[in-house]
Each structure stands twice: as C-alpha cells, then as structure tokens.
C-alpha cells in the first residue's frame, strides 16, 4: 500500500455480463464510458472490464450495436440484516476510508411513502357525463401570478363594450401546467440547458435558469424563462431580470433544505464564468441562506426590489424547500408580496448534495402542498399567489393529483432529465455524465444533441398533456381550472386518518 492510502473494502455496485457470442470487439463501450470501465486486451483479443468503476448508467448497453452487454446490480451481499443493510454498511465503509461527507446526485431514493400512489382519481358514471377530449375542446392553459380579490367590470353603454376596472397583476400564460425545474448552466451542460429552453419555447411553457444566469445568446428564450435570484446572486443583472417571464427568489431546494451550493472551480470554465459573472476557475459558492433575508420583512424588501427593477411587469416567485412549517412560511411569503410560491418536496433532485441531507431532510410534497393550499384558503389569500410544486413528479397522473390538491402547475426536473437520456445513476456530483447532461467536459457534453433532446422533451410534454386531457375528460371536466383544488375528485387508499386529514381528502368508498 502506498503511504497514507487505505486498502478499499468496498464491493462493486454493478456486474457486467458480456455475451461473447455477440461481442464484435468494436470498442464502442470503451469509448462511451467516461468512468473507464471497459478496455480492450489485444493479447486475448477480448474486451475486459473493471466493475468497481461501473455506476450502472447503462450508456454502454444502449450504445452496444449487438446488445452484447448486460449491466445489473452486483448480486454479492453481506449476511442478511434488516438493520444493517448493504447500503448502510457500504456507506459507512466509504466514510471509514475517506473521512468525508458522502455526496450524491438526483433526488431522495429512500422508500418514503409516495402519497400519489395512495391517491386515486374519480371518473364520471351515469349521473354526470364524461367528455371525450378527442371530440371536444379541453383547456390546459394556465395563468401563473397574482389574481385579483374581486373583478370589477364596467359596461360602456351596450353589452359588447366591456372594460375591466380592476387593476390586474402580471400573469404568465403557459399552454400546459408543466414547467421545467431549476437546473443551472454549470450544474448541467450548455447543451442540456439549451434543450430545455428550446423545448419550453416550442411548447409554450417555461424553463428555469437555476442560479447560474442566462447566457446572452439564450436571452431570446427569456419570454419562456423563470430567472432565478439565489443566494449566490450569480448572473443577475438588469437585462437578465427584464428579459424573463418570471423572477424566482430561491430560498431552498427540496433535495437539500438548509444547504447551499458549491460549483467547484474546475467547472467554472470561461463561458460559465462570463454567464455567472465571476472569475474563471473560482469556486461558485451559494451560501445556505440568502444573507439579506433573515425574516419575512427582509424577503418583502427583495421581492419589491426585484419588482421595482422590472417595473412591476413580472410575477415574482419565491421557492422554498418543503419543511415542517411550510404552511405558515408560505402564508408569510404571500403576505410579503410573492405572486407565485414554489414548493420543492422531499424527493426533489440535485446536482450535488450531502447524501445524509438528501435522504433525511424535508417533507413529502403531497403533504406540503395540501397544507399550504389549505392554509392560504383559510386565510383568504389563496388567490394572491399561484402554487408551483416540485419534487419527484413521475407521470401525468401525479400532476393531475397535485392540481386537484391545489397546485397551479408542476415543476418537472428529474422527469425532464430522464426524457433527455438520464438514467438516475446518481453520479451528477462527479462531473462525469455519460449522457452529456450533468457535465462540463466538452467531450461528454456534446453527446447531448440539443435538437434531439428538445424533441424528446416536447414529446414528453405533449404525451403528458394528452394524458391529462384524458383524465380530465373522464372526470367530466373540460378545463384544468375546474380541477384546481377540487379535492372531491381524490380519494385515499391505504392511508391513516391523520394522513387523510393533512391531505384533506376522503378515504376510498367515503
């Protein structure tokens, strides 16, 4: 052993099976693996592999022209122990070998109850007609922003000449209640970032810049952008704010509530340094709190500073991680002047977070959403802000259920990444992404062709929107607006009383 080095006791995560009758030694697997798992042995004219390095991203399997590869979880295990699982033992060993905080990427993968899977939807039978979305119009169009307390209208003489007297707050129209979550240029590749912008533009929805700024040449997509103003204040300038559709103040992130961000200096390349407005090669540190926000009053000052900077023309969103007192905090946010509140739940994703935080901090988005919507209704201020929810939305049914629970629209991050190619290998924090998404290595990043990725994202939005229309039609509803907060369309299955109470829904059969 070299001095200071510790011999590793870790087991491989994956095993690679190579079907020799199919392998043509084309070495595509070797070239496509950023972790250098595969190599060609000239002596034996065969491909070899180092399984310890394999992260199970499946890139080699997909790219292999003869489908000669199978990558599957390593079957070897320690003596069965319900308390000391393999993951617990291996994590502990990693820390014994490194003495560090374990980092990881993507969202919480622990088996916390997914309430979406315990909520079922209603459908029309006999007494009310269902609607066929293929024959009749079905409205998914959604407006994000503050709605007036009451609407005063004036008729000028005849009934055709109507004027709205109430001064309306700025609202942003989206064609479907699905918005791409905050993923910064820096955390993800330029190609992935651009694909999200292009897809949002093509479909008529929004993408979120995250806190890495918006490259100048992409400001043409500003009308589809939610621009973030986070604790690091990276890339914030008047043009950045004014080119956007929505401005978002990021207080917290579902994957790592209470934790800041750290983009290592190696990733701060010239284009990223220009966009973030920091020197090349310096660490981009986002502090855990916003240092000018220590209270609701401070938050209000920043909200109005941003509104002032943009001439009160754009809704301002405040994003928090879903935590224990989310409802009270959300009430304060709305009273502080937020036009949209974004809640990011326990299963929200990340490019890098301490594993212990990701897996243990925060509350499920279903609970946070239900309690926030309920609280704002009780206080009579629900109309003052739209609710955007994020954190582990996997399919269109999750979205329909969230809207019935009270959300105005849903943020999708992980789902969008999966559409582009991500396989949730959870190695985002390494800076190596074989799918060209979560990397700044030019050799890996160009694996993501923005045109192809855009098509995949637009297809996803289209498919989910069609499914949402089908579900709405089944319930006899022809506009998403009629479902919003309509918890009568939800019933719980396999939930306890307290869970049904927090969710504000009846049990099935009730």
Residue 96 gets which letter from DSSP? H
Query: Which residues make Cβ contacts (< 8 Å) with residue 333, sequence separation at least 6?
Result: 296, 299, 318, 320, 341, 385
Question: Quick check: 194 binds other proteins (CB under 8 A)?
Answer: no
As a whole number of angstroms, the distance between CA 301 and CA 303 comes to 6
Instruction: Work out how close the CB of 15 gets to other proteins at its nearest, in angstroms, rounded to a whole number.
Output: 23
Please give the structure tokens belonging to residue 8.
């590793």
Burial class (CB in 10 A: 0-12, 13-18, 19+), 443: exposed
Which position among 31, 110, 220, 324 is part of the footprint of other proteins (CB under 8 A)? 31
Question: Quick check: 28 binds other proteins (CB under 8 A)?
Answer: yes
Question: Quick check: 426 binds other proteins (CB under 8 A)?
Answer: no
Which position among 382, 447, 454, 489 is part of the footprint of other proteins (CB under 8 A)? 447
When the beta carbons of 60 and 103 are compared against other proteins, the nearer one is: 60
Instruction: Work out how close the CB of 268 gets to other proteins at its nearest, in angstroms, rounded to a whole number.
Output: 18
Of the candidate spans 62-70, 215-223, 297-305, 459-467, the one that interacts with other proteins by CB under 8 A turns out to be 62-70
When the beta carbons of 28 and 120 are compared against other proteins, the nearer one is: 28
As a whole number of angstroms, the distance between CA 166 and CA 148 comes to 8
Of the candidate spans 143-151, 211-219, 435-443, 500-508, the one that interacts with other proteins by CB under 8 A turns out to be 435-443
Of the candidate spans 9-17, 251-259, 267-275, 438-446, the one that interacts with other proteins by CB under 8 A turns out to be 438-446
- For other proteins (CB under 8 A), the number of binding residues is 21
> Do residues 475 and 124 touch, judged by C-beta distance below 8 A?
yes
When the beta carbons of 117 and 451 are compared against other proteins, the nearer one is: 451
Which position among 14, 16, 32, 439 is part of the footprint of other proteins (CB under 8 A)? 32
Please give the structure tokens belonging to residue 278.
């920091």
Question: Which residue, among 299, 213, 208, 216, has the nearest Cα to 263 in the 3D structure?
Answer: 213
Which position among 443, 497, 498, 510 is part of the footprint of other proteins (CB under 8 A)? 443
User: Which residues inside 3-22 make contact with other proteins, applying CB under 8 A?
Assistant: 21-22
User: Which residues inside 150-189 make contact with other proteins, applying CB under 8 A?
Assistant: none
Give Dmax over CA atoms of the chain in angstroms: 94
Query: Which residues make Cβ contacts (< 8 Å) with residue 263, sequence separation at least 6?
Result: 186, 187, 212, 272, 283, 284
When the beta carbons of 11 and 62 are compared against other proteins, the nearer one is: 62
Handedness of CA 336, 222, 242, 188 (dihedral sign): positive
When the beta carbons of 26 and 114 are compared against other proteins, the nearer one is: 26
Question: Quick check: 441 binds other proteins (CB under 8 A)?
Answer: yes
Burial class (CB in 10 A: 0-12, 13-18, 19+), 47: buried
Question: Quick check: 46 binds other proteins (CB under 8 A)?
Answer: no
Residues found in the chain: 510
When the beta carbons of 45 and 158 are compared against other proteins, the nearer one is: 45
Instruction: Work out how close the CB of 207 gets to other proteins at its nearest, in angstroms, rounded to a whole number.
Output: 21
CB-based burial, 85-95: b 16+ in 10 Å, e otherwise: ebeebebeebe
Question: Which residue, among 363, 366, 306, has the nearest Cα to 339 in the 3D structure?
Answer: 306
Of the candidate spans 212-220, 246-254, 423-431, 446-454, the one that interacts with other proteins by CB under 8 A turns out to be 446-454
Question: Quick check: 66 binds other proteins (CB under 8 A)?
Answer: yes
> Do residues 403 and 484 touch, judged by C-beta distance below 8 A?
yes
Query: Which residues make Cβ contacts (< 8 Å) with residue 473, sequence separation at least 6?
Result: 130, 131, 132, 133, 136, 138
Which position among 442, 494, 501, 506 is part of the footprint of other proteins (CB under 8 A)? 442
Question: Quick check: 459 binds other proteins (CB under 8 A)?
Answer: no
Question: Quick check: 266 binds other proteins (CB under 8 A)?
Answer: no
Instruction: Work out how close the CB of 265 gets to other proteins at its nearest, in angstroms, rounded to a whole number.
Output: 20
Of the candidate spans 93-101, 134-142, 167-175, 447-455, the one that interacts with other proteins by CB under 8 A turns out to be 447-455
> Do residues 71 and 14 touch, judged by C-beta distance below 8 A?
yes
Pairing of strands 316-321, 386-390: unpaired
> Do residues 408 and 486 touch, judged by C-beta distance below 8 A?
no
Question: Quick check: 110 binds other proteins (CB under 8 A)?
Answer: no
When the beta carbons of 69 and 103 are compared against other proteins, the nearer one is: 69
- Assign 288 to helix, strand or coil: coil
Instruction: Work out how close the CB of 468 gets to other proteins at its nearest, in angstroms, rounded to a whole number.
Output: 30
Residues engaged in binding other proteins (CB under 8 A): 21-22, 24-28, 31-32, 63, 65-66, 436, 441-443, 446-447, 449, 451-452
């Amino acid at each position: 052993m070299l001095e200071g080095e510790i011999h590793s006791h870790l087991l491989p995560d994956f095993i690679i099976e190579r079907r020799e009758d199919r392998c043509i030694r084309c070495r595509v697997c070797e070239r496509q693996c950023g972790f250098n798992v595969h190599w060609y042995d000239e002596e034996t004219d065969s491909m070899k592999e180092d399984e310890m390095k394999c992260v199970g991203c499946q890139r080699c399997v997909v790219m292999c022209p003869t489908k000669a590869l199978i990558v599957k979880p390593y079957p070897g295990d320690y003596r069965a122990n319900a308390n000391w699982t393999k993951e617990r033992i291996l994590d502990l060993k990693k820390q014994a070998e490194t003495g560090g905080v374990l980092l990881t990427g993507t969202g919480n993968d622990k088996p916390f109850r997914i309430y979406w899977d315990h909520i079922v939807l209603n459908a029309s039978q006999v007494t009310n007609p269902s609607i066929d979305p293929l024959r009749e119009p079905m409205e998914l169009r959604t407006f994000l922003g503050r709605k007036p307390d009451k609407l005063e209208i004036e008729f000028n003489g005849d009934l055709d000449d109507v004027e709205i007297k109430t001064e309306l707050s700025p609202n942003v129209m989206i064609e479907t209640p699905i918005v791409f979550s905050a993923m910064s240029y820096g955390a993800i590749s330029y190609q992935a970032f651009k694909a999200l912008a292009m897809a949002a533009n093509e479909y008529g929805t929004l993408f979120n810049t995250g806190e890495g700024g918006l490259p100048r040449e992409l400001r043409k997509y500003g009308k589809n952008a939610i621009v973030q103003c986070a604790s690091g204040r990276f890339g914030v300038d008047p043009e950045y704010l004014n080119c956007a559709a929505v401005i978002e103040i990021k207080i917290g992130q579902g994957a790592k509530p209470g934790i800041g961000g750290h983009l290592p200096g190696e990733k701060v390349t010239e284009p990223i340094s220009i966009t973030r407005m920091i020197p090349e090669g310096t660490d981009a540190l986002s502090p855990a709190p916003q240092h000018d926000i220590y209270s609701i009053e401070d938050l209000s000052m920043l909200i109005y500073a941003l509104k002032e900077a943009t001439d009160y023309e754009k809704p301002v969103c405040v994003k928090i991680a879903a935590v224990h007192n989310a409802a009270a905090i959300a009430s304060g946010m709305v009273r502080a002047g937020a036009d949209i509140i974004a809640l990011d739940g326990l299963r929200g994703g990340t490019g890098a977070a301490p594993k212990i935080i990701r897996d243990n901090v925060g509350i499920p988005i279903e609970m946070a959403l239900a309690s926030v919507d309920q609280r704002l209704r009780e206080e009579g201020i629900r109309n003052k802000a739209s609710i955007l929810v994020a954190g582990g939305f996997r399919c269109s049914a999750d979205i329909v259920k969230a809207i019935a629970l009270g959300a105005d629209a849903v943020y999708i991050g992980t789902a969008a990444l999966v559409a582009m190619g991500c396989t949730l290998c959870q190695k985002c924090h390494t800076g190596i992404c074989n799918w060209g998404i979560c990397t700044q290595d030019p050799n890996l990043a160009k694996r993501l062709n923005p045109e192809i990725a855009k098509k995949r994202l637009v297809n996803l939005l289209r498919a989910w929107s069609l499914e949402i229309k089908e579900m709405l039609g089944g319930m006899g509803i022809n506009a998403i607006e009629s479902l919003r907060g309509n918890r009568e369309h939800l019933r719980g299955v396999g939930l306890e009383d307290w869970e049904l109470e927090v969710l504000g829904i009846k049990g099935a059969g009730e």
